A and B are shown apart, each in its own frame.
Chain A
Amino acid sequence: MNNIIVYCELDEGKIADVSFELLTKGRSLATQLNCKLEALLIGDNLQGLEKEIFPYGVDTIYMADDKRLSPYSTLPHTSIVVNLFREQKPQIALMGATTIGRDLGPRVSSALKSGLTADCTELEIGDHEDKKQNKVYKDLLYQIRPAFGGNIIATIINPDCRPQMATVREGVMKKAIADPDYKGEIVQLDIEKYVDDTDFVVKIIERHIEKTKVNIKNSPVIISGGFGVGSAENFKLLHKLAALLGGEVGASRAAVDAGFAEHERQVGQTGITVRPKLYIACGISGQIQHLAGMLESSIIISINQDPNAPINKIANYVITGRVENVIPKMIKYYKEHTK
């Protein structure tokens, strides 16, 4: 009761990175709240996966293991989560802000009439004083996220409803094993008690999963372009430099919306969070929602015509100039001075 439950997502039979990241965050919140950290795993053929989960400091793993539960489908997974939450009454529930978490989370929150905050960039514990009702709430989950097109940061709370639910994008939290020998217990759920036959009305006809083409999350060098790059044609310059430096091309949301780059390359709160050694921001003005996804890069270079672009404030180097002038010069120097 009153524990923290992380919904662990499976991706082709493997636990998704975002789930490990949430377990890591969940562990520190559980320690702070002096409650248990629990994981919920729903799928098929789950035996053995507990070995990967316990080291994150997980006290209980609920397993719903059934052929019909894989791949993910909205209704059966919702039923299990909702019924388990009704029974266990967690105070906090966390999910990845993935296509699965963003399909499941709202459905669960609606069924439980509890609040859900999407795409949080930080989760903290704190108190809240409701002056109107003269009431003090202890140890609430502060769900912190850029809001409103990323122009401000909002702290959201759920004072009265439980669980307090939040989704977090992959890469936002760091993953770290708490204790390789951590001991917890496994609770096998009796599926029949949680799922109804009518939950299987939506049928998966065909499924085609591609290998990830773009891997910017782990790239040490990212050349990222914004709306200021001007065209998909100019983006080719970024690709050229990225290929040369062994890096990847990223993009701001405005550049993706304008069709200059694929959605998989979007860096920011609603895209991917990255922490490369070098981040070159080309023609990116620097809305909070973008900065949230790249602030922790070791070295940031901003190339912008506007000397007052907000991103310049957090850059180590600011080059005032046009992207199509600067990048070829970088390429030329690099080619001439390395093997």
Chain B
Amino acid sequence: MKEFQIVVLAKQVPDTRNIGKDAMKADGTVNRAVLPAIFNPEDLHALEQALRIKDQFPGSTITLLTMGPPRAVEILKEGFYRGADDGILLTDRAFAGSDTLATSYALSCAIRKIKNVDLIVCGRQAIDGDTAQVGPQVAEKLGIPQITYAEEIVSITNDKIQVKRRLERGIETVESAFPVLITVNSSAPHCRPRNAKRLMKYKHSSTTSNRQESNEDYLATAVTKAYLTIKEWSVNNIDAEPEELGLGGSPTKVKKVDNIAFQSKESRTLDDFDEDIDGLMKELIEAHIIG
């Protein structure tokens, strides 16, 4: 039976539903440090698809790859709790200010380093940008096909995969050989919950730098339980061209950011008393807005 080498791309995102005023820096980029951070929801759907393949092909390996600041290690741990075999944190100041293209470039360089990858799965889009660009751009950089808007893996054999895609007005089933990149929709099944045994096992996993920072006895842990040390890759680990990374490697620039002040209308304020509602409805009917 085939043992698939699967990479799941995940992003730690600010919970954009809870945003304060100091969320933006002066240069127009996002100040992630002040926001609650979560596992991008659709990336969890992607992890579930990978886990299902592993259920069917038990020798398969799932590597969770994320690019972000040191604290993004939290989502790798979350991935371990739910069944990922390995995790890589791609972190370096050189990546700061990356737009989608520079991000895709860095991720694709890292995936090349993982070697012999059959399948890359990621969420359709991240809730902080909603661009849905990184998946297709990574596929292009690797020169492999992409299947976007996946809802279900219909079938998978040693050399072919069939995927059902959710389009605006219907569905489409497509078939591809490996390697291929798949982006998963939120209409796909939710990710399975944390596994209690795995939670115990990986609770103390971290990267070496995070341990150094918190003055933990990291050397002892690394020696006794190697699996508790999460891989941490910098620019030096991925053979990337420095000029294609970060702000410098990003063709799009934020020219300016505005807090929008909409022109206020002269609004009439009503209460929910019968006479207020009745009066309003009467007006709307007489003005032929309704009726």
**A: which residues have CB within 8 A of B?**
71, 73-75, 78, 98-99, 102-103, 105-107, 109-111, 113-119, 128, 142-143, 147-161, 201-212, 221, 245, 254, 263, 270, 277-278, 288, 291, 295, 298-301, 307, 312-322, 325-326, 329-330, 333-334, 337-338
Cβ–Cβ < 8 Å partners of A153 in chain B: 257-260
Q: Is the CB of A320 within 8 A of B269?
A: yes
Q: Is the CB of A148 within 8 A of B19?
A: yes
Cβ–Cβ < 8 Å partners of B140 in chain A: 78, 106-107, 110-111
Residue B34 is within 8 A (CB to CB) of chain A in the complex: no
Q: Is the CB of B271 within 8 A of A319?
A: yes
Known contacts A105-B133, A110-B140, A157-B253; A208/B258 CB under 8 A:
no
User: Which among B147, B148, B259 has the greatest number of chain A C-beta atoms within 10 A?
Assistant: B148
Q: Is the CB of A319 within 8 A of B272?
A: yes
Cβ–Cβ < 8 Å partners of A142 in chain B: 255
Q: Is the CB of A157 within 8 A of B255?
A: yes
Residue B265 is within 8 A (CB to CB) of chain A in the complex: yes
**In whole angstroms, what is the CA distance A98 to B19 when docked?**
28
Residue B159 is within 8 A (CB to CB) of chain A in the complex: no
Give A154 Cβ to nearest chain B Cβ, in Å: 5
From the candidates A106, A254, A299, A307, name the one contacting B132 in the complex (CB within 8 A).
A106
B contact face: mostly helix, strand, loop, or mixed: mixed
Q: Is the CB of B174 within 8 A of A115?
A: no
From the candidates B131, B168, B175, B270, name the one contacting A99 in the complex (CB within 8 A).
B168
User: Nearest residue in B to A241 (C-beta to C-beta)?
Assistant: B290
A contact face: mostly helix, strand, loop, or mixed: mixed
Q: Is the CB of B16 within 8 A of A152?
A: no
**In whole angstroms, what is the CA distance A301 to B268 when docked?**
10
From the candidates A128, A150, A316, A333, name the one contacting B278 in the complex (CB within 8 A).
A333
Q: Is the CB of B252 within 8 A of A156?
A: yes
Cβ–Cβ < 8 Å partners of B274 in chain A: 329
Cβ–Cβ < 8 Å partners of A316 in chain B: 265-268
Q: Is the CB of B145 within 8 A of A201?
A: yes
Give A162 Cβ to nearest chain B Cβ, in Å: 9
**In whole angstroms, what is the CA distance A300 to B253 when docked?**
35
User: Which among B140, B175, B176 has the greatest number of chain A C-beta atoms within 10 A?
Assistant: B140
Stretch at the interface among B4-12, B56-64, B122-130, B224-232: B122-130
In B107-132, the 8 Å CB interface with A consists of 127-132
**In whole angstroms, what is the CA distance A322 to B268 when docked?**
17
Q: Is the CB of A115 within 8 A of B176?
A: no
Q: Is the CB of A156 within 8 A of B291?
A: no
Q: Is the CB of B176 within 8 A of A329?
A: no
**In whole angstroms, what is the CA distance A270 to B128 when docked?**
12
Give B122 Cβ to nearest chain A Cβ, in Å: 12
Q: Is the CB of A98 within 8 A of B139?
A: no
Known contacts A149-B127, A154-B28; A333/B277 CB under 8 A:
yes
Q: Is the CB of B269 within 8 A of A318?
A: yes
From the candidates A201, A207, A254, A320, name the one contacting B270 in the complex (CB within 8 A).
A320
Q: Is the CB of B137 within 8 A of A210?
A: no
Q: Is the CB of B252 within 8 A of A158?
A: yes
User: B220-240 CB contact bits vs A (8 Å, 1 = yes)?
Assistant: 000000000000000000000
